[in-house]
Structure 1
Amino acid sequence: MVDAVVLAAGSSTRMGRPKLLLALDGRGLVRRVVDETLASRVRQTLVVTGAHREAVEAELAGLPVRLVYNPDHTRGMSTSLRAGLDALPPDAEAVVVLLADQPLVDRSIVDALIAERERTGATIVRPSYGGQPGNPVLWDRSLYGELRAQDGDRGGRELLRLRAGETAHVEIADRRAGQDVDTPAEYQALVDALAHAASDHGHVDAGASFCPRCGGRLEARIVQDRSRPVCVACDSVFWIDPKVAVAVLIPWHGGVLLGRRAIDPGMGLWSFPSGYVDRGEMLEAAARREVFEETGLDVDITGLVGAYSTAGHPVILVVYAGEPRLGAGAPPDPRPGPEMSELTAFAVDRLPPMAFDHDDRILDDWLALRRRQAVGG
C-alpha cells in the first residue's frame, strides 16, 4: 500500500500572504495538489497543516483526506514530515511526500513514481524535470526512521544526498511541472504562462502534461484520425507544434565547413552548423545566431537552399547558404562552440560520416544554388 502526505504547513513568509490559497483555475494551490493526489493510485491522502490551518482546512472541506495538524511547524519542514509519517497507518509500505506549493504536479507524476517502485524495487523514487531531480518523492517504509531523524527546514534533502545511489528517477516531459511558488513574482509568472498558453490558438508543445486553459490533465485521444492531446477536465483539443530548425552551409578553404557533434543526436558524426529557432525569432536571424554560437563566425545569408521534412518526424529544417563576413580583413579561424568538438573544411566529394539523413540532398541542393548564383541565376 502506498499513501501520500501533502506538506501544507508553511507560513508563506516570502509570499506575504497565505500562498496555498492563491487561485489557479479557480482552485487554491493546495486544493489542486490534493485533487490530483486523490485521483492517483495512492490509497489515502494525509495533509499536514500548520500556519493558516483553518483557511487550508476550509479550502479542502468535503474532500476525503485525513488532516494532521503540526503544532511545531515553525521549527521547519522536518517537523511536518515527521507529523505526516507518525500519522501513517502501520501497513503503509511506502509514502509519496508532496509539497502543496507545486500546483502543476498531477496524478500522472504520482502514478509514475509508484510504477517505477514496482518495476525496480527502489527505496527512493523521484521525478526529474529536464535532468534536474525534484519533488514529489516516494520513500520506502525502510527509510521512515531516518526520515523522522531529520531536523530543521531540510526535509529529506540530506537523506536524498546520502542515498543518491539508491534513488530511481522518472523523467517528466513537462519541465514546468516541478515549479514551486514561493514569491509573488513566481505566482504571477505561472498565472501569465498559463494565460498565454491558453490564448495560443489551441497549440501546445510536445510532452505537455497540463491543459493551458484550465490546468487539467492532458491525455491522448484520436481526433480527426490522429492522436492528439485532449484535456480530461474541459475537453479542449490541442495541436502539437512542429519544431523548426535552421542550418547554414558555409564555403571554407575550397570546401564546406563541418562540425563534429559533441551532443546527441549524432554525437561524434559531422553536420552543418544548425540549431532550433526560438519562438518569435526570424529564420535568417536564427541561422546567423547558430553559426556564431557553433563556429564564432559572423556570416551573411546569401540564399535559401531549401526546406526539408520527413513524415512522422516533428522537425522542419530550413537550410541557408552563408558567406563569412570579411569586415576589415579575413575572417578569423572558426572555433567550435559547446555543441561541436571540432570544425574542419571538407572537400564536397570527400565528406566524413554525416549525422542526418537529409545531409547528402542538402549538399547537392547547395552546390546547385552556388552554380546558379555563379551565373547570375
Structure 2
Amino acid sequence: MSDNAPVPAGEWETIVRNVPLVSVDLVVETDDGVVLGKRENDPAKGEWFVPGGRAHKHESLTDAVDRVAAAELGCNVTVERQLGVYEHFYDTAELDDVGGKHYVPIGFHVRPEEGSELRPDDQHSSIRTVSPPFEFDLHPYVEAYLEDAGVLE
C-alpha cells in the first residue's frame, strides 16, 4: 500500500531542508547496454543518470522500483538483485535556499520486461542505452552503480 498523495510545497521544502530522502535508483540493463536519462531538473541537471525516485510512505522498495520504472521509462521491470544502500550529496535542489539535497538511495539492477518500449518522462530530455567504452564521462554516482551491477566489464 502506498501513500501517493503529493507532498504540499511548504512541507516538501521543510523535508528537503532537514531530512535525507530515501529513494530507489535503477540500473536498467538491456541486451544493448544500460539505460540512462538526461536529467532536466536539479539535482544533477544536464547529467546522464540512472532512473530513480523517492520511496513513498508505506510503499515497499520493490513497489517503488515498479512505480519508478513505469513513471520514468514507461515499462515494467524484473529485479535481478538489490545492489545496496548509497549516499548522495548534492549542492543543488529544485528549491532555492534549502542547502542542496541529501539522498539515501537503494540501488537495484533490473531488466525491462520482454518487448518493452522505453520512453522518457518529463524529468528527462531523452533516454539512451549505452555500453562501455562510454563516449562521455559518467557521473561518479552512476559509475558506482554500474560497477556494483557488474556492467562495466
Q: What TM-score comes out, normalization by structure 2 length?
A: 0.75
Deviation at 1:276, TM superposition (A): 0.7
Q: For 1:250, what is the secondary structure of its paired residue?
A: strand
Alignment of 1:269 with 2:57, yes or no, is: no
- Whether the aligned pair in 1 keeps the contact of 2:88 and 2:105 (CA below 8 Å) is no
Deviation at 1:288, TM superposition (A): 1.5
| Rounded Cα–Cα distance in structure 1 between residues aligned with 2:112 and 2:53 | 18
| Rounded Cα–Cα distance in structure 1 between residues aligned with 2:36 and 2:12 | 32
Query: Alpha-carbon deviations, 1:171-209, whole Å to 9, x = none?
Result: xx5469xxxxxxxxxxxxxxxxxxxxxxxxxxx8454xx
What is the one-letter code of the residue matched to 2:113?
Answer: R
Q: What TM-score comes out, normalization by structure 1 length?
A: 0.33
What does 1:6-17 correspond to in 2, within 5 Å?
Answer: none
Alignment of 1:359 with 2:142, yes or no, is: yes
What does 1:362-373 correspond to in 2, within 5 Å?
Answer: 362-367=145-150
Equivalent of residue 306 in structure 1, options 81, 84, 101: 84
- Whether the aligned pair in 1 keeps the contact of 2:72 and 2:119 (CA below 8 Å) is yes
What is the one-letter code of the residue matched to 2:148?
Answer: D
Question: Which has the larger strand fraction?
Answer: 2
Deviation at 1:241, TM superposition (A): 4.2
| Rounded Cα–Cα distance in structure 2 between residues aligned with 1:175 and 1:359 | 26
Alignment of 1:340 with 2:124, yes or no, is: yes
| Runs of 4+ residues over 6 Å off in structure 1 | none
What is the one-letter code of the residue matched to 2:112?
Answer: P
What are the ranges of 5 or more consecutive residues in structure 1 without an aligned counterpart? 1-128, 131-172, 177-203, 208-239, 372-377
Question: Which has the larger helix fraction?
Answer: 1
Query: Alpha-carbon deviations, 1:302-329, whole Å to 9, x = none?
Result: 2011211258973111000111112xxx
Higher relative contact order (CA 8 A, sep 6+): 2
What are the ranges of 5 or more consecutive residues in structure 2 without an aligned counterpart? 1-7, 91-100
Higher Cα Rg: structure 1 or 2?
Answer: 1
| Rounded Cα–Cα distance in structure 2 between residues aligned with 1:175 and 1:246 | 18
Counterpart residue number, 1:63? none
Alignment of 1:254 with 2:32, yes or no, is: yes
Equivalent of residue 320 in structure 1, options 101, 108, 123: 108
| Rounded Cα–Cα distance in structure 2 between residues aligned with 1:342 and 1:270 | 9
Question: In 2 relative to 1, CA 343–289 (structure 1 residues): closer, same or farther, beyond 3 Å?
Answer: same
What is the one-letter code of the residue matched to 2:134?
Answer: R
- Whether the aligned pair in 1 keeps the contact of 2:37 and 2:125 (CA below 8 Å) is yes
Question: In 2 relative to 1, CA 273–310 (structure 1 residues): closer, same or farther, beyond 3 Å?
Answer: closer
| Rounded Cα–Cα distance in structure 2 between residues aligned with 1:175 and 1:303 | 31
| Rounded Cα–Cα distance in structure 2 between residues aligned with 1:279 and 1:273 | 20
